[in-house]
Structure 1
Amino acid sequence: MQCCRLVLLLMGQCSLYVAVLYGYELVEEKKTWEEAREYCKAKHIDLATMQTFTDLEEVVDLVGDKGDTWIGLRRQTGSTKTWSWSSPKVKFIDSEAAWKTNEPNNAAGAEDCVAMLDNKWIDFRCGLKKRFLCYDERNLKKFHLHTEKKSWPEAWRYCRNHHTDLASGDAQLTGDAFQTEMSGSAGEKVWIGLYADTWAWSDGNYPSFWNPTLFKGEGQGAKLSDGSYPALWNPTLFEGKGACVALSEKKWKSEDCSHKNNFLCNTQETNPATKPVPKPVNDPAPKPVTKPATKPDKLVLINKSMTWERALSYCREKHNELVSATNPTEQTLVQNIAMGAKTTHVWMALRYSCTLDLWFWVDNKVVKYSNWGTSEEIVDTCDMSGAMEKGGKHQWFKKNANKKLNFICREY
């Protein structure tokens, strides 16, 4: 069974267009992960990799209820670990690390998450239950030590839901307020926001649904419409029970690589002579652009009423992309422009995936910051896009994608 789509690439300065038939084939033969990869490399390209939400939707639809299915994601057991903070605002600096003597040692294998013991760091398996420390940038009380023990992923999701994040970085893990909150935890191991991302695709790339690794931004941090988090990852993934990943009931989970499952292959054919073909308006794949670091974005209000898909195509043809509002600063900039619209709402680059049950920005960012309002309008849940009201509190509302509204384009 195959699933494919047409993608156009612009090559260099010579404006050579290459039409790429890119997709997936589900192979219903039971093989180990290594056997499956050998099969895919021999007959196609490699085991399936996914780098956009569109890819994820296609794969979930293709697999359906066929049972556990290998994809090309695997733990890189022999590689050097790259440590990162769960907070996307904090960069890990090796010279600021506070490791306990002889740590990190990966003693039990797959020790990819970090807890603090008496101000020193120790690596542990992420599935172990421990106390955890949340940081809340919105409240006067910044630190919250929770004594109910959770695994690292559970603690991380709890902090994201109820505070800001797990405590991250040298600036947060020092100081009087931090020491005061931790004063009652002497001799206790407490999860902090440090983790090692050792998962990579079989082609050597890293998952890019979040920025830039497994937790940073937000892979599981993408909130659903009810405020909860989607479970693309089964929690067993972090418990060291397996080094290879299978898709099972719309979730990814780790399994022993020697298990025999169905599997997905990447398929690809290229024809350099193919002429450019207009991009289908129903394919919200991100448009690749190079954004100058020193040039601020320009927001352009289009006072023409179009469906969401037509607005997306218009922005990509005439400017760069439909506008997004991924933080309060961007929200303010967009709402100031929206006030000039002729319709009550303006389209944004916000799209709902019925298959994955999550909202995402079409430039492949997940929705962490949000400004949803409530509406009694009846909306087709599998054809929803997001629009901002031009007045009032400039909140976001779910709208049928075939509704015609003004829209705002972003120009890089």
Structure 2
Amino acid sequence: MQWSLFVLILMGQCSFFTCHLYEYHFIQEEKSWDDAQSYCREHYTDLATVSNMRDMKRLTNPSKNKDAWIGLHSMWHWSLVELKKSETEWMDGQPSINTDENCAVIRAQQWHDCTCNHDFEFICYDEPKQMCHCIDNAKNWRQAQSYCREHHTDLVNKNLWIVLFGDTWGWSDGKNFSFRHWEHSFKDEATKTCATTTPNGKWSSDTCTNKKPFYCYDDKVILIKESKTWDEALDHCRANHRDLVSITDRHQQRWVQEKAEMADTEFVWLGMRYTCTLDLWFWVIDRLVCYDNWAPQEMAECGMAAVMKRDGEWYKKADNEKFNFICVK
């Protein structure tokens, strides 16, 4: 009877418990987007990333609904990942904001954007030999990139097809969240490449050098790239942070998965363990598992604790195995 009452009480906690794995901070001081990004990275984690409508409600409230920078910006990427090139050589009026013109080409020594399916000659770069190779067989951008990566290193950065390509809007912290909350009247403009909230709580964009207040976020989730047993991981998190991470809904699942993808081990420990006495999985925060993302055919066993694979699915592992782990502050 006592055990039954205990379980019922715990089950009742499922609907009342909310844990935020990141916090938003409104900064009233007005800065350009770049300066706001630097401030957030110095004092918190980064400019605010927004993954869903629940985040939007947490981010904005009536007292703060004004134009304020968030971490979304329009950007062009270098195909050669290691290339860090800050200076630009765009022709006046380029790049134009056009969803079909996401690749760059050299014309008259200046950069132009164009659709990626045009066929142009191109030049590959061979990094070990530090040599360029002219390819007179015209290909579209993707074909040219594939050819250069297969036969050399990558597209060269300054001739015909170049390594630069557009990826429209992305988050300052590099997260892949696709959530957007644009105004109905929003239109991309070449000079307005940084996103801002508006007084009605939706988003627009503005010139990045304009000064506005801004939103930072502080990430409470920490990936520890040390391999420990589950008990050792729990002790480490409680001694240095707050606890091993618990996941209570799909939004937290996605946030934690972003961290797990960067682990050095195939799996990372979560703050969940199986108790044989009650035949139940429990989070270390003393909550039952009301949300789960178990891989198929994962069955509970004594002496087991939960791990997340890099793809986000949960598995059971013997608690004396050693993996990276995720703490929460």
User: Does TM, scored on the shorter chain, surpass 0.5?
Assistant: no
- Tell me the TM-score normalised to structure 1 length: 0.32
- Tell me the TM-score normalised to structure 2 length: 0.39
| Structure with greater strand percent | 2
Larger Cα-atom Rg = 2
